Amino acid sequence: MSEEELYLIQSKHPHSLDDIDIKATHETLFSAHPAEFHIIGESHAVSVPALPFYEIFSCQPIRTEQASDTTINTIELCVDTRLSTVYTLGAEHTSIQTTVRIEPFESFLDVGSFTIVYKFDTNAYTAINCISQREYRTYHTYPEHDLTVISCHQICSASNIESRDMIEASTQQ
């Protein structure tokens, strides 16, 4: 892992997961379309081909050339870091609104309440909670840095983008 950064990659083009260690997978519907949520060796990946929407949240920098409609956000790994971004899906006039917060490690709550969770090491977890067909949240703990990274992803129409303060401190649902 980069000692200081995480990378949020969102695209209309699929990322190859062939060389990525997939720890766990959950299939469900997102925006009424089949979706796959993966916990991977580097963090998480989401695939919703019908939208099309592909996301990787990773500790590793980008390895290959990316298409022009791929967005890459770099997030500094320290308490109180915050990122808000909107990724437009295109013809459907819909967007994925993403908010990322970095909080102290103790903000990571009960592991039993998640849709999918994987424990990497002592207190190192990646968890995904599929809240509804319009929202999912991810949780990544970094005990070596005493941090929890929480991301909230909501699908909305271009005319319906709400406040970007979707995540309240120390909340899971």
Predicted confidence at residue 170, as pLDDT, reads 43
Domain membership of residue 173 (yes or no) is no
pTM (two decimals): 0.85
Domain membership of residue 170 (yes or no) is no
Domain membership of residue 168 (yes or no) is no
Dihedrals phi, psi of 57, to nearest 5 degrees: -110, 115
- Signed CA dihedral, 7, 136, 84, 156: sign only: positive
Q: How many CA atoms lie within 13 A of 146 on its CB side?
A: 3
Count of structural domains within the chain: 1
Domain membership of residue 171 (yes or no) is no
Predicted confidence at residue 163, as pLDDT, reads 45
Domain membership of residue 32 (yes or no) is yes
Dig out the tokens for 67 from the structure: 């298409």
For the chain, what's the residue count? 173
Predicted confidence at residue 94, as pLDDT, reads 86
Residues 28-61 have pLDDT tens digits of: 999 999 999 999 987 899 999 999 999 999 887 7
Domain membership of residue 107 (yes or no) is yes
Predicted confidence at residue 160, as pLDDT, reads 56
Domain membership of residue 104 (yes or no) is yes
Instruction: Report long-range pairs for 16-23 (Cβ below 8 Å, ≥24 apart).
Output: 17/45, 20/45, 23/118, 23/120, 23/126
* Domain with 38 in it: 5-158
Domain membership of residue 47 (yes or no) is yes
Which stretches of the chain drop beneath a pLDDT of 50?
1-2, 163-173
